[in-house]
Structure 1
Amino acid sequence: MEEANDRLAEKVQALSDIELAVLVCLVAEQHCIIEAGKESINDVQAELKLVASNVFGLTCAVLDCDENTTLDDFGSGILVKDDGEDYFGKNNGRLQGEFSSKSGSPRMPDRRISKSPRPFSPLDSRRIANIVVAKDVNQASLQVQIQALELIRGKRNFTRTAVHAAPKPFLFIALNSTGTPRLTMHLNDQFSISHHHLVNDGLPNLEDLQEQALASEDGASTSSVVHTPPYAPVRDKAQAIMLPPEDLTHLTTLMSQVKISPEVRAYLYNIVVFMRLHRAVAGGISAMATRHFDTIARALAPLHGLDYMSPSLVALAARKVYPHRIVITAPENERSMQWGSSLEAVKAVLEGVTVEDVIEEVLQSVEAPL
């Protein structure tokens, strides 16, 4: 067991920032927001697709959103070709029963099974991808964002011809451009972490693909007999995925066994209280954010080879869970204005304050247990 954990720890240490963000969400069974500059967002999109196939061996669907995206566009954009083992397949009979039990009709599953083992396949044999990358979903209409919210919460999507259930594992990634509007409040709160990708962080999978393509072109130009397809090395690499599903399952099991001491638990909730009471925070901190805070802190422990939650992991989780949730209040709405504070003084205090500043100030204000 220890050898397996050490092997997983070595794999985790070799991952890039984007790969780590995806891994944390897959282990915690949560979803994430990734932000990138407008000039690099297409490259990040390509990198995420390569991460899904090369690192985790999962299917990936990319959905380009804008203000003209319709519900039909969303419903079809998250689907991939069925491999024969979807939600209604014979390998998922238990899940089919769970779905039917939630509908409140105990005899309906028997009638459906007697007609066809996969009732919706004649109309649409595609299925929802394991990883859905919704590019610029924050710029889509309210109806599309509500549909994304229903997909995340209900694990299924309704189209005109079928009901598509989300597979397991399932990860929804909102890939947004830096400086663009925020997601709607309820959808934004469903994402457990956010990650801002900097150009200097690099895109290792995309860079490897480009190097292999250049090498293939050079080889083709020096030989008129042997022609190597540029994407063949990528397919070979995908066959030996870095973190297969069994590794994800093992990490999820380790996460459920993570222990937390009373002192660390108090530290975690003190951070939540200080975050809610910070004068620069508008709208407070939601209960969903607190649940995600605890979940992500637990998910980080096995990735660091620990079976307990440490204060440093709690602080790291806070830096990932809260950036996309905190809204800096306007000076006229700052709470001390109710008690007669000067508007000019409040403006001076809040000038230049960022979300990152608020998080770091809270972490410095709360004493960490020894």
Structure 2
Amino acid sequence: MADEQLLHKIHGLGDLDLAALLCLVSREHCIISTEPGELDALTDELRLVASRTFNLQPAVVDCTPHTTLDDLAASILQQPLPFSPPTPKPPPSQSLSPAALAATPRSSSSASPLRHRRGTESSSYFHARHGSHGTTTGNAFTPTIGTTQPRIANVILARNLDRAPADVQVQCLELLRTRRILTRTSVQTAPRQFLFVAVLESSGSSGTGLVSHLNDFFYVSHWHDPEDGFVHLEEEGEEEYEGSIYRRDGGGGGGGETASLDSASSVVRRSLVEMPSPRTDRGGGGRSGTRNMQGDRLTDDDGSSSSVSTTTPVSISESDIATLAQLARRVRVDVEVLRYQMNVVSFMRTHRAVAPGGGAVTPLATKHFGQLVRCLAAAHGLAYAAPSLVALAARKVYPHRIRIVAPARERSVQWGSDLAAVEAVLEGAGPEDVIEDALAEVMAPL
């Protein structure tokens, strides 16, 4: 079971942060969609999720029907920070005084041109022999700035990936499978913390337009409702607004600072976590552990206050992800829960609204189904898999995989069913309806 501090941070995450966390724990990738008019805001929000919550480097790929493989490789590769060579120290002769230079023996000065010439010849021979790149200052070799190779970004946000050509989508599938990408000059390997997110436009009730194998390879799918807001974008806007007021009022004037604090105190920050106080009572005497937040001070039940900070930004480290991955592998799945999970899979596979042979309920999807159940249990601080987590996992694993069958190809039509009646039954049906039918018909274990 995870410690309380880690669980407290997980409970303070938003839906987008949590979706990224589950994928990083499982070392898988996801699809996130929203309304067409909010796609830019969703992309910016995911970029801030990667940099602020997980401290990872994001890269955005804008996909169009004209995107090429070279465009894809150039977008996901990030240039590292420029190399700053150390400042060479001056020769010892430059730091001597005129009197010391006059007292220098003539033999040393006469031999110095020969040593310098030999050093230059050996340095030139070394560069010609080994093909090193750089500049020579005396006998010192200084590497050229910018010779470090670029690397793949930690988080790749592929916007409108369903609009990209088939060869680009296949290249993305190869990147997800092998964690490598082949460019014209080299083979680039993905970093250890690697997440690929397909950012798509969707109404939330239809499947994606991705290549079938690539679509099936994605771990989960999540539809972000614009009414839920974009927490990180709102916080970034507040910080810029408060900073502009602070600079406008002279960098610390009383009026500007007060206005900034008043503006910040009227906002509920969803990505900030109220950390437990070290004075919380856990089973003995002393003060009660219930504390109310008032500004930046804590107030006990008896009315006394303390100036301990109550909110800190949520930050998930690499060690936290590794801890959750280890706990997920230790989650126990009872045979009754496993039978319930397989019954849900069987019901969805034989549902009359699911297109036969459409790759909806594949073996890979069943594997992802069980894997997500374990990850959700670890994120909830449970050492076992509960039936409610099975239902939650089904709603995230299968929506982007299920395809609704055309009325003319529905199974009962070939046995004499009326086509108009079948069309009336399938009218308005979506992947979510199939999943809800499966969860309603299959009895969950007690």
TM band (smaller chain):
0.7 to 0.9
Matched with 2:75 is: 77
Shift of 1:76: 1.3
Please tell me whether the aligned partners of residues 53 and 241 of structure 1 are also in contact (alpha carbons under 8 angstroms): no
1:264-279 correspondence to structure 2 within 5 Å: 264-279=337-352
1:188 pairs with 2:221:
no
Choose the corresponding residue for 1:301, options 367, 373, 377.
377
SS of alignment partner, residue 143 of structure 1: helix
Residues 240 and 364 (structure 1 numbering): CA distance in 2 closer, same or farther, change over 3 Å?
A: closer
1:291-330 correspondence to structure 2 within 5 Å: 291-330=367-406
Shift of 1:59: 1.3
Give the Cα–Cα distance (whole angstroms) in 2 for the partners of residues 275 and 181 of structure 1.
18
Structure 2: stretches of 5+ with no match in the other structure: 83-129, 133-144, 254-271, 273-311
**Would you say how many aligned residue pairs link Structure 1 and Structure 2?**
326
Please tell me whether the aligned partners of residues 128 and 164 of structure 1 are also in contact (alpha carbons under 8 angstroms): yes
Greater percentage in helix:
1
Residues 294 and 53 (structure 1 numbering): CA distance in 2 closer, same or farther, change over 3 Å?
A: same
Please tell me whether the aligned partners of residues 33 and 176 of structure 1 are also in contact (alpha carbons under 8 angstroms): yes
Matched with 2:62 is: 64
1:161 pairs with 2:185:
yes
How many percent identity over aligned positions?
A: 45
Please tell me whether the aligned partners of residues 12 and 314 of structure 2 are also in contact (alpha carbons under 8 angstroms): no
Shift of 1:81: 2.6
Residues 250 and 83 (structure 1 numbering): CA distance in 2 closer, same or farther, change over 3 Å?
A: farther
1:1-370 correspondence to structure 2 within 5 Å: 5-82=3-80, 125-178=149-202, 182-223=209-250, 242-282=315-355, 283=358, 284-370=360-446
Shift of 1:6: 1.2
TM-score (norm 2): 0.69
Please tell me whether the aligned partners of residues 124 and 161 of structure 1 are also in contact (alpha carbons under 8 angstroms): no
Consecutive aligned runs of 4 or more in structure 1 exceeding 6 Å deviation: 121-124
Shift of 1:162: 1.2
SS of alignment partner, residue 258 of structure 1: coil
Give the Cα–Cα distance (whole angstroms) in 2 for the partners of residues 349 and 225 of structure 1.
66
Give the Cα–Cα distance (whole angstroms) in 2 for the partners of residues 83 and 364 of structure 1.
54
Give the Cα–Cα distance (whole angstroms) in 1 for the partners of residues 251 and 339 of structure 2.
69
Give the Cα–Cα distance (whole angstroms) in 2 for the partners of residues 309 and 346 of structure 1.
38
Please tell me whether the aligned partners of residues 34 and 195 of structure 1 are also in contact (alpha carbons under 8 angstroms): yes
Please tell me whether the aligned partners of residues 208 and 215 of structure 2 are also in contact (alpha carbons under 8 angstroms): no
Cα deviations by residue, 1:301-328 (Å, 9 ceiling, x for unpaired): 1110101111100100000000000011
TM-score (norm 1): 0.83
Give the Cα–Cα distance (whole angstroms) in 2 for the partners of residues 342 and 354 of structure 1.
21
Residues 343 and 123 (structure 1 numbering): CA distance in 2 closer, same or farther, change over 3 Å?
A: farther
Aligned amino acid, residue 160 of structure 1: R
Shift of 1:168: 1.1
Structure 1: stretches of 5+ with no match in the other structure: 85-113, 227-236
Give the Cα–Cα distance (whole angstroms) in 2 for the partners of residues 115 and 184 of structure 1.
45
SS of alignment partner, residue 199 of structure 2: strand
SS of alignment partner, residue 40 of structure 1: helix
Give the Cα–Cα distance (whole angstroms) in 2 for the partners of residues 219 and 240 of structure 1.
22
